């Protein structure tokens, strides 16, 4: 059975089925419905919801509860996530699992509530300090808002990492039919967590290391973990790629526009395909490098100044032209605009 709902509401249903027990957050447009839904469904199901006094307070509650073994999440939009960045670094340095939903809006500064994809660098490259990475899923539908959140808690627990769901204002606000899994997931007892009992009394969760050798070893351990993640969970989707001469690369709302543009261009006899990363970290470098030897060009469509395009260029290692199709300031291209820009480019 399917249910019609917003992307922001689907997140909470996916989280509850994924075993999330605690939500701490502060409402901000265009992500506010996530906190609203959590306030209703978490309390109704006997789980914990708390509206914090700020985004900084919320993310520190996430760190504390996750250290105590809970499955935890928060949500925000671009400026709110920026405020959380320091503690996200602490979460990474402490090897603590958490899930964060970022429904991106226009920046820099307060910007406005229109969609943009300019949190790419902040979330993928680490908005906080130090050497760390987050696992990042990029949904392009309400169904994926639910699906990615549902599985995010298992992944966060497995790797003891922060998992981001990097959406945008359109994906969070649009309504579509959604189906949900029937299996409800639950967290197991974590041998590293702090349960205030005899078994866990000697556990230590910290990112503070007073000796250089120990700190260096911890960073090496983090880097080894990230390399393992890159081998195990890279996800992407390909459409009309097998015979394509040119490929769009896009995520989120941009990928939906690009998909329709692919269909229109093919009607006009132009062989264009679409490559959509579902994970932005790990980034599908290997597959992009393979495709680089089979097509004439790659065209990166995104609502920023070319942030993902820079990663595509690194992946293909100058084997072919990488064209940047960029919009920002709340603009989202129409299919007609993208088709015309593509025809002029190629």
DSSP β-bridge partners for residue 103: 167
- Phi, psi at residue 125, to the nearest 5°? -90, -10
Same CATH topology for 2-232 and 236-345? yes
DSSP β-bridge partners for residue 178: 3
**Cα 28 off chain centre by:** 18
* For residue 126, pLDDT beyond 90: no
pLDDT in tens, 200-248: 999 999 999 999 999 999 999 999 999 999 999 999 999 999 999 999 9
Q: What pLDDT is stored for residue 212 in this prediction?
A: 96
What average pLDDT does the chain have? 97
**Cα 253 off chain centre by:** 13
pLDDT in tens, 268-300: 999 999 999 999 999 999 999 999 999 999 999
Rounded Cα distance, 52 and 79, in Å: 16
Q: What pLDDT is stored for residue 15 in this prediction?
A: 98
Q: What pLDDT is stored for residue 60 in this prediction?
A: 98
Rounded Cα distance, 285 and 316, in Å: 8
Residue ranges per structural domain of the chain: 2-232, 236-345
CB 9, CB 37: distance < 8 Å: yes
pLDDT in tens, 149-171: 999 999 999 999 999 999 999 99
* Percent of the chain whose predicted confidence (pLDDT) is above 70: 100
Residues 6+ apart with CB under 8 A from 158: none
Helices (H) and strands (E) in the chain, counts: 12, 14
Report which secondary-structure segment, H or E, holds 92.
helix 78-93
CB 139, CB 11: distance < 8 Å: no
- Phi, psi at residue 65, to the nearest 5°? -70, -40
Say which CATH topology domain 236-345 has. Rossmann fold (3.40.50)
In eight-state DSSP terms, residue 136 is: E
CATH superfamily of 2-232: Thiamin diphosphate (ThDP)-binding fold, Pyr/PP domains (3.40.50.970)
- Phi, psi at residue 288, to the nearest 5°? -65, -40
pLDDT in tens, 46-57: 999 999 999 999
pTM: 0.97
Average pLDDT, integer, range 91-109: 97
């Amino acid at each position: 059975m399917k249910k019609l709902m917003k992307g922001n509401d689907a997140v909470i249903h996916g989280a509850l089925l994924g075993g999330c027990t605690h939500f701490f957050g502060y409402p901000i447009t265009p992500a506010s419905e996530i906190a609203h839904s959590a306030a209703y469904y978490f309390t109704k199901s006997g789980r914990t919801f708390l509206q914090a006094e700020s985004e900084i307070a919320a993310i520190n509650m996430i760190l504390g509860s996750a250290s105590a073994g809970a499955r935890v999440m928060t949500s925000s939009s671009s400026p709110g996530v920026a405020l959380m960045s320091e503690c996200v670094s602490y979460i990474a340095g402490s090897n603590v699992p958490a899930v964060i939903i970022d429904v991106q809006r226009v920046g820099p500064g307060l910007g406005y509530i229109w969609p943009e994809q300019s949190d790419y660098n902040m979330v993928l490259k680490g908005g906080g300090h130090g050497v760390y990475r987050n696992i990042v899923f990029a949904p392009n539908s309400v169904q994926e808002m639910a699906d990615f959140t549902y599985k995010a808690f298992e992944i966060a627990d497995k790797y003891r990492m922060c998992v981001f769901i990097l959406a945008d204002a359109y994906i969070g606000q649009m309504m579509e039919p959604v189906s949900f899994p029937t299996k409800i997931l639950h967290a197991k007892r974590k041998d590293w967590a702090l349960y205030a009992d005899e078994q866990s009394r000697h556990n230590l969760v910290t990112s503070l290391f007073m000796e250089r050798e120990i700190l260096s070893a911890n960073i090496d351990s983090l880097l080894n973990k990230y390399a393992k993640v890159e081998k195990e969970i890279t996800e992407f989707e390909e459409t009309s790629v097998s015979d394509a001469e040119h490929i769009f690369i896009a995520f989120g709302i941009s990928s939906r526009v690009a998909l329709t543009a692919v269909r229109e261009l093919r009607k006009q006899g132009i062989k264009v395909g679409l490559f959509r990363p579902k994970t932005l970290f790990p980034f599908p470098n290997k597959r992009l490098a393979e495709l680089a030897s089979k097509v004439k060009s790659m065209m990166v469509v995104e609502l920023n100044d070319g942030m993902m395009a820079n990663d595509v260029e690194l992946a293909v290692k100058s084997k072919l032209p990488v064209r940047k199709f960029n919009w920002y300031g709340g603009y989202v291209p129409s299919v007609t605009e993208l088709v015309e820009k593509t025809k002029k480019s190629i």
